[in-house]
Chain A
Amino acid sequence: MDKSIKKVVLLGSGALKIGEAGEFDYSGSQALKALREEGIRTILINPNIATVQTSEEIADRIYFVPIMPWFVEQVIAREKPDGILLSFGGQTALNCGIEIHRDGILEKYHVRVLGTPVQAIMDTEDRELFIEKLNEIEIKTPRSVAVTNVSDALKAAATLGYPVIIRSAYTLGGQGSAFCSEQEELEIQASKAFSYTDQILVEESLKGWKEVEYEVVRDAFDNCITVCNMENFDPLGIHTGESIVVAPSQTLTNSEYHKLRELSIRVIRHIGIVGECNIQYALDPESEDYRVIEVNARLSRSSALASKATGYPLAFIAAKLALGYGLPELKNAVTKTTSAFFEPALDYIVCKIPRWDLNKFEGVSHLIGSSMKSVGEVMSIGRTFEEAIQKGLRMIGQGMHGFVGNRGLTFEPVEKELAEPTDMRIFVIADALEKGFPVDEIHNLTRIDKWFLYKLRNIVALKNTLSSFGSLSGLSDQTLLEAKILGFSDFQIARFVLKSPVNRIADDLIRIRNHRKKKGIVPFVKQIDTLAAEYPAQTNYLYLTYSATEHDISFNKKRNSVIILGSGAYRIGSSVEFDWCSVNALQTVKNKGFQTIMINYNPETVSTDYDISDRLYFDELSLERVLDIYELENPEGVIVSMGGQIPNNLAVRLRENGADIMGTSPDSIDHAENRHKFSSMLDRLGIDQPRWRELTNIEDIHEFVDDIGFPVLIRPSYVLSGAAMNVVSNREELGHFLKLAAEVSKQYPVVVSEFIQEAKEIEIDAVAGKGEMVAYAISEHVEFAGVHSGDATMVFPPQKIYFETIRRIKRIARQIAAELNISGPFNIQFLAKDNNVKVIECNLRASRSMPFVSKVLKVNLIHLATRILLGENVEPLNKSIFDLDYVGVKAPQFSFSRLQQTDPILGVDMSSTGEVGCIGDDFYEGILKSMLSVGYHIPEKAILLSTGPVRSKVELINSARALLDKGYRLYATRGTKKFYDHHNIPTTLAYWPDEKKRPNTLDLVKNGTVDLVVNIPKNLTKNELDNDYMIRRNAVDFNIPLITNARLASAFILAFCQIKRNDIQVKAWDEYK
């Protein structure tokens, strides 16, 4: 190891976004641990405040600033590090690293890039260089032509022949790559891509080839290993982030496996990577012909998955290699006796399944293809493919019970659905198999290898066998065991054998459970030990399977352990923040002398890292599986309040089945979750709430709306598409919306609530012990109520609310804590208008904003809450928000650019995929840093204003004046121009998209004439394709920053007009005292 390295800067990946998510929290955390172990001082730059890596326990110093060259330079100038790590923060860190290298910043401050040299990174990132490099060693890449303009792209495609795929350099998650089957399509896609990049590649299409990936490691002494290979269930053409993936490969012969492995090692050597890289191949399904599709010279989503799939800590080892260690010098972290220079042997199969949330977006295409749209993923482990895939499909958490047994999933025409894959593809295959489609036909339409389809057919066949029984007594033990080996849950078995109706299934699945326990049909616990049992290992990395006859571990029944339920798949609304909560709870439980047991199945998390808990069960967060583990481990209790809504929802049923829930009682949880119970409790306590009704017919809805007046928030329980929840402003919209709600009945009621306009939204995050509030943090939203709290910009401590409001909020929170006898974390959301405070929601669990307020307040609310869960008495805390001389601002990150066609507008349903939290000396500095962190730029030229309703126009008067003073040119659409003319604010008229006149709004955006677009929707309803939509979508597609909320626009504009970039303070977290 190189002893001259004493201080290292690590670049994180910023906010979670599609294509760059929690995996980089995991990778970065591991790297930081690896450095800290060597006594190296670590400096982390990452504005993602909800991550585990941005904790004192992980990094020595943390900067919550944007990962942009200017900010990174400031940090380097202050810290004077010896080295920098660029490969642990995804594409964001890599791109920034390349820029600071090119700008000579690294040279200027004598900072060495540790690990893979920058030149090697550039060789892999620039397609042309990359292909040239691989040609040097005669390794095949797809035939392609690099072009710098649209007309050359068309020429290239004509030579290669359609279909072609276009790719742009420096992308994350395949953004800017697209299949084009004809010229017109190519023209559109190419011009879009050129808005992100100067160069694109037009390539031969290898649609239908197998897609296989290798994770390759190399040390500075040229020793190489491939830690894992993975095979995509979906053939090439579907982005690996959108595909079901298995590890290890299942349909490759030894010859194919090792041919690609050998090529991987040749590639990593030739490029000169020191550390880790990922290589993606296309493999001809009819021969051993191949192409190298891509090399990622950094830790990636796949490397995080490979680490979890094998137990080999890739990021940890890559960090050690960057310090100059040789692989043979390092130990296998799992066995602790054997060497890190080895290739894991698995004795199980893992299955990764993406999680999409496309229903959250209006107008988005559900087709999946070469760009990534999924927001999270799960990994399931089993000893049969059937077991792994069924587990995984349940883990996705969208109400599925496995591959079969899901209601209402039929597709017509199946052939079309098979040939044009959507996010429902796997269930389309289930439907086709159930309809009797032969495997050959499904294969022809999907190009999915028949081996996978045969296995899936086994599941359908067993379902049919189970369905042929009428009762439990007729079911043979052999068939029951077979079902469990093929991954059937007790729920599925109840549904098929007992034909349980919805209202009885909860009891029936327990009947199945008791029946099979009596018969001795129970799962066994197996270890993931990296060597397939060849060497003894003290590994705590576990999963359950029915393909087994004994446990790998023993259980002590002393009740000195605590089970913590994790968050499951990241999704819109539940993400890395709950992993931070889970990890912090684990730390506290461990410190208090308990054995910690974690259950989670998200490969992107830190909570599923091998050294975080005493035992990690990488398995389902279902009632069945948690009870399986509970009964084996006999713990002190289960913590359900740290992992978000999934564990929270299990509380009542776990308790009913004999599990001890730590902290707030499941009854109280139910009181907060159940709208009726909660509402009557508020009435009883005299706490105000927006008026609402649950209604079962159209007439009642109209009558209630007449009573409370428009606008109203309406939430149907059954909808045809999208539109799960919406605000309607008039009778016409209401009628239209009720039409979308497929059914209004006793079984599918509609909830209608009063919608208060121009109300502030305020949240309290708090901890209570035995009903007494011991710590709290109050924050306010920049946007008025109506924007989902997860999409809102949050300010803590609050800067613009009345003392009286704060007092009332505290009082209400105390009342609720006492009434529900809360012991643990909780969060309440309020509306406030003129000191009238109404409660809108209450969750008796850790909330999204817990890490943000904990880190800004510098009081770890989760540590406090966990101590209470363990039964400790915690003294009320006296730290007040008035003690803070700085302001934290949390801003959402949107991924609209990946979700083609969707309207990038905010509403009552959440659509952001991540967030950042930055600290400023005042509100404007905080908001500027956080907006820059989520991808906004300070404009340099001109702003396009289209400011919607009069209210918003007024709101933005000061901002418009400030912009003019700063010398910006303002373009405005007709109504907006008229309004500002009236206020003596000169603007240039920009014509609407459907007017064929210039300057047209579309051109201004497309040509980059404007570098900020403010487009405020006219009303609260998500609209059809109209002019405003065109402007918004165009801004997103051409990568021009867009703001759609007047209050946020005003805050951002005033911030960058007041503060010069060079005046922004770059300070570490610990410097805010």
Chain B
Amino acid sequence: MKIADQSVAEVTLILEDGTRVTGKSFGYESPVSGEVVFNTAMTGYPESLTDPSYKGQILVLTYPLVGNYGAPKEEMENELLRFQESNKIHITALVVSDYSFHYSHWNAKDSLGQWLKENKIPGIYGVDTRALTKKLREKGTMLGKIIFGQDDIPFYDPSKENLVAQVSTREVQTYGNGKYRILLVDCGVKYNIIRYLLQRDTTVIRVPWDYSLKDTDYDGLFISNGPGDPKLCNLTIENLKNQMSDDDRPVFGICLGNQLMALASGADTYKLKYGHRSHNQPVLQADTNKAYITSQNHGYAVDNKTLSAEWKPLFININDGTNEGMIHTSRPFFSTQFHPEASGGPTDTAFLFDEFIGKIKIHKGE
């Protein structure tokens, strides 16, 4: 039984404030550094691990029991891995409290530890993740590194780098053969966005983050989620600014997409103290009593106060009042900070994809 195995390697997580947390290794054993963030979701670790938005981050899961249903099979569906959000693990490392060495599920092919090893991602268990989370909550997101034995490495700040360029597709890829042509600007897109679009009679043309939008043939423009500081994506922002200034084809942005559209419209973004990473964020649709539970994963937010007169908030976070989306007052552009595509998390706001298609239909005069 591995649980009491004395031979498991001791690992140390060191935070930039000097905090040292020791645990045991269950993943790949090589030192790494990145930004330490926590997620409070109780399920969906394969989805989180493969979400490109986590690029550069050491992920702490507050739910203590992890690995229960192993690592998913690599089954393809519409040219996408059926049980993942991208083709590989994007997190820098995983920190949990209680790892399940033995897993059980019909769609599992391996243990979580084995999957991490294959992707060269370290994993630590035996950590008081609640204590760690409280520290991150109080001091804000911090840099951290994971070291094995004495091999020290320097801290690394992912927010200084254009991570989007690292996770975006390098070539144009087309999915499906539906009626509506969606140009998907991939800043680190989650597969479920593509799946949701394909379910709605579309052809999805996935293009790199810096792809020129001028004179492209599409019915609707989609700006995806992605990692890091939105202000480092100036090429996308510029492209959007140009596009939205003289083109009335519908635009829908999610997460980083929301922030990029905001920046393109002249509004500002800022870094949250410790971000929103969970499956239980409540949002209220502005000027209604309609509320939704949403899945979120972001460290930056749009500053509501800086929205230009042509834009207004579409959703507001009920807990802390932060921006959760915006809508153009006269043209078919809107965006959300949360993830209507879910995966992982609640699917309450999937209807926004229908609204996007609806706007396309109107625009096309259907």
A and B are partners in one complex rather than unrelated chains: yes
B1: chain A residues at CB < 8 Å are 457-458, 461-462
Binds A, one of B124-132, B146-154, B246-254: B124-132
Tell me the residues in window 29-52 of chain B with beta carbons closer than 8 Å to chain A beta carbons. Answer: 38, 40-44, 46-47
Is A535's CB within 8 Å of the partner chain B?
A: yes
A549 and B131 in contact (CB under 8 A), knowing A254-B344, A258-B346, A327-B291? yes
Identify A532's interface contact among B6, B62, B342, CB under 8 A.
B62
Identify A262's interface contact among B47, B64, B284, B347, CB under 8 A.
B347
Minimal beta-carbon separation of A453 from chain B (angstroms): 8
B103: chain A residues at CB < 8 Å are 451
The distance in angstroms between the C-alpha atoms of A450 and B100, with both chains bound, is 12
Sample of 14 A–B contacts (CB below 8 Å): A221-B290, A250-B68, A255-B83, A338-B318, A339-B318, A339-B319, A345-B40, A346-B63, A451-B69, A457-B102, A458-B3, A486-B3, A533-B134, A548-B130
B97: chain A residues at CB < 8 Å are 383, 547
Binds A, one of B104-112, B165-173, B175-183, B210-218: B104-112
B224: chain A residues at CB < 8 Å are none
Is A541's CB within 8 Å of the partner chain B?
A: no
B318: chain A residues at CB < 8 Å are 328, 338-339, 341-342
Please determine whether B43 and A253 come into contact, CB atoms closer than 8 angstroms.
yes
A533 and B130 in contact (CB under 8 A), knowing A253-B43, A347-B64? yes
Interface size class of chain A, counting residues whose CB lies under 8 Å from the partner chain: 35 or more
Could you give, for residues 527-555 of chain A, a 1 whenever the CB lies within 8 Å of some chain B CB and a 0 otherwise? 00001111110000000000111101000
A265: chain B residues at CB < 8 Å are 348
Tell me the residues in window 283-305 of chain B with beta carbons closer than 8 Å to chain A beta carbons. Answer: 284, 289-293
Please determine whether A326 and B289 come into contact, CB atoms closer than 8 angstroms.
yes
Please determine whether A348 and B64 come into contact, CB atoms closer than 8 angstroms.
yes
Please determine whether A343 and B290 come into contact, CB atoms closer than 8 angstroms.
no
Is A225's CB within 8 Å of the partner chain B?
A: yes
* Minimal Cβ-Cβ distance residue in B for A256: B43
The distance in angstroms between the C-alpha atoms of A862 and B44, with both chains bound, is 50
Is B345's CB within 8 Å of the partner chain A?
A: yes
The distance in angstroms between the C-alpha atoms of A285 and B134, with both chains bound, is 36
Is A249's CB within 8 Å of the partner chain B?
A: yes
Is B203's CB within 8 Å of the partner chain A?
A: no
The distance in angstroms between the C-alpha atoms of A348 and B61, with both chains bound, is 12
A534 and B133 in contact (CB under 8 A), knowing A223-B289, A461-B1, A461-B3? yes
Is B282's CB within 8 Å of the partner chain A?
A: yes
The distance in angstroms between the C-alpha atoms of A250 and B103, with both chains bound, is 10
Interface size class of chain B, counting residues whose CB lies under 8 Å from the partner chain: 35 or more
Please determine whether A550 and B131 come into contact, CB atoms closer than 8 angstroms.
yes
Please determine whether B106 and A251 come into contact, CB atoms closer than 8 angstroms.
no
Could you give, for residues 63-96 of chain B, a 1 whenever the CB lies within 8 Å of some chain A CB and a 0 otherwise? 1110011001000000000010000000000000
A526: chain B residues at CB < 8 Å are 130
**6 further contact pairs, Cβ within 8 A, besides A253-B44, A384-B98, A486-B3:** A224-B348, A328-B289, A339-B319, A341-B282, A450-B104, A451-B100
* Minimal Cβ-Cβ distance residue in B for A451: B104
Minimal beta-carbon separation of A121 from chain B (angstroms): 25
A383: chain B residues at CB < 8 Å are 64, 97-98
Tell me the residues in window 215-264 of chain A with beta carbons closer than 8 Å to chain B beta carbons. Answer: 221-225, 248-255, 257-258, 261-262
A455: chain B residues at CB < 8 Å are 100, 102
A461 and B4 in contact (CB under 8 A), knowing A383-B98, A534-B40? yes
Is A763's CB within 8 Å of the partner chain B?
A: no
Please determine whether B291 and A341 come into contact, CB atoms closer than 8 angstroms.
yes
A327: chain B residues at CB < 8 Å are 291
The distance in angstroms between the C-alpha atoms of A251 and B6, with both chains bound, is 27
B3: chain A residues at CB < 8 Å are 458, 461-462, 482, 486
The distance in angstroms between the C-alpha atoms of A253 and B112, with both chains bound, is 13
Is B206's CB within 8 Å of the partner chain A?
A: no
Please determine whether B62 and A384 come into contact, CB atoms closer than 8 angstroms.
no
Please determine whether B130 and A251 come into contact, CB atoms closer than 8 angstroms.
no
A458: chain B residues at CB < 8 Å are 1, 3
Please determine whether A342 and B280 come into contact, CB atoms closer than 8 angstroms.
yes
Tell me the residues in window 274-301 of chain A with beta carbons closer than 8 Å to chain B beta carbons. Answer: 285-287
A residues at B contact (CB < 8 Å): 221-225, 248-255, 257-258, 261-262, 265, 285-287, 326-328, 337-339, 341-349, 383-385, 449-451, 454-455, 457-458, 461-462, 465, 476, 478-479, 482, 486, 524, 526, 531-536, 547-550, 552
* Minimal Cβ-Cβ distance residue in B for A347: B62
* Minimal Cβ-Cβ distance residue in B for A329: B289
The distance in angstroms between the C-alpha atoms of A461 and B2, with both chains bound, is 10
* Minimal Cβ-Cβ distance residue in A for B280: A343
Please determine whether B289 and A253 come into contact, CB atoms closer than 8 angstroms.
no
B residues at A contact (CB < 8 Å): 1, 3-4, 6, 38, 40-44, 46-47, 62-65, 68-69, 72, 83, 97-98, 100-107, 128-131, 133-134, 137, 278-282, 284, 289-293, 318-319, 342-348
Minimal beta-carbon separation of B12 from chain A (angstroms): 13
Identify B4's interface contact among A450, A451, A462, CB under 8 A.
A462
Minimal beta-carbon separation of B280 from chain A (angstroms): 4
* Minimal Cβ-Cβ distance residue in B for A262: B347
B345: chain A residues at CB < 8 Å are 254, 258
Please determine whether A344 and B104 come into contact, CB atoms closer than 8 angstroms.
no
Nearest 8 interchain pairs by C-beta: A254-B44, A454-B102, A461-B1, A254-B344, A532-B40, A532-B62, A345-B40, A451-B104
B38: chain A residues at CB < 8 Å are 533-534
Please determine whether A478 and B42 come into contact, CB atoms closer than 8 angstroms.
no
Please determine whether B63 and A253 come into contact, CB atoms closer than 8 angstroms.
no
Which label, helix, strand, loop or mixed, suits the secondary structure of the A interface? loop
The distance in angstroms between the C-alpha atoms of A501 and B67, with both chains bound, is 39
A457: chain B residues at CB < 8 Å are 1, 102
Output the residue of B291, B318, B342, B346 with the most chain A CB within 10 A: B291
Please determine whether A345 and B104 come into contact, CB atoms closer than 8 angstroms.
no
Please determine whether A345 and B100 come into contact, CB atoms closer than 8 angstroms.
no
The distance in angstroms between the C-alpha atoms of A476 and B43, with both chains bound, is 34
The distance in angstroms between the C-alpha atoms of A548 and B126, with both chains bound, is 9
B137: chain A residues at CB < 8 Å are 533-536
A534: chain B residues at CB < 8 Å are 38, 40, 62, 133, 137, 278
* Minimal Cβ-Cβ distance residue in B for A223: B291
Output the residue of B46, B98, B106 with the most chain A CB within 10 A: B98
The distance in angstroms between the C-alpha atoms of A251 and B69, with both chains bound, is 6
Please determine whether B347 and A258 come into contact, CB atoms closer than 8 angstroms.
yes
* Minimal Cβ-Cβ distance residue in A for B133: A533
Identify B280's interface contact among A224, A251, A344, CB under 8 A.
A344
A252: chain B residues at CB < 8 Å are 43, 69
Please determine whether A384 and B104 come into contact, CB atoms closer than 8 angstroms.
no
Please determine whether A286 and B64 come into contact, CB atoms closer than 8 angstroms.
no
Minimal beta-carbon separation of B206 from chain A (angstroms): 22
The distance in angstroms between the C-alpha atoms of A643 and B224, with both chains bound, is 58
Please determine whether A225 and B129 come into contact, CB atoms closer than 8 angstroms.
no
The distance in angstroms between the C-alpha atoms of A154 and B189, with both chains bound, is 56
Please determine whether B290 and A223 come into contact, CB atoms closer than 8 angstroms.
yes
A345 and B279 in contact (CB under 8 A), knowing A252-B69, A254-B343, A339-B318? yes
The distance in angstroms between the C-alpha atoms of A479 and B364, with both chains bound, is 69
Minimal beta-carbon separation of B60 from chain A (angstroms): 10
Output the residue of A341, A461, A532, A549 with the most chain B CB within 10 A: A532
Output the residue of B72, B102, B282, B344 with the most chain A CB within 10 A: B282
The distance in angstroms between the C-alpha atoms of A385 and B280, with both chains bound, is 23
Please determine whether B280 and A547 come into contact, CB atoms closer than 8 angstroms.
no
Please determine whether A328 and B291 come into contact, CB atoms closer than 8 angstroms.
yes
Identify B346's interface contact among A261, A337, A465, A524, CB under 8 A.
A261
A524: chain B residues at CB < 8 Å are 128
A461: chain B residues at CB < 8 Å are 1, 3-4
B65: chain A residues at CB < 8 Å are 250, 349, 384-385
A478: chain B residues at CB < 8 Å are 6
Output the residue of A222, A342, A535 with the most chain B CB within 10 A: A342
The distance in angstroms between the C-alpha atoms of A249 and B65, with both chains bound, is 11
The distance in angstroms between the C-alpha atoms of A222 and B351, with both chains bound, is 15
Please determine whether B100 and A454 come into contact, CB atoms closer than 8 angstroms.
yes
Minimal beta-carbon separation of B250 from chain A (angstroms): 26
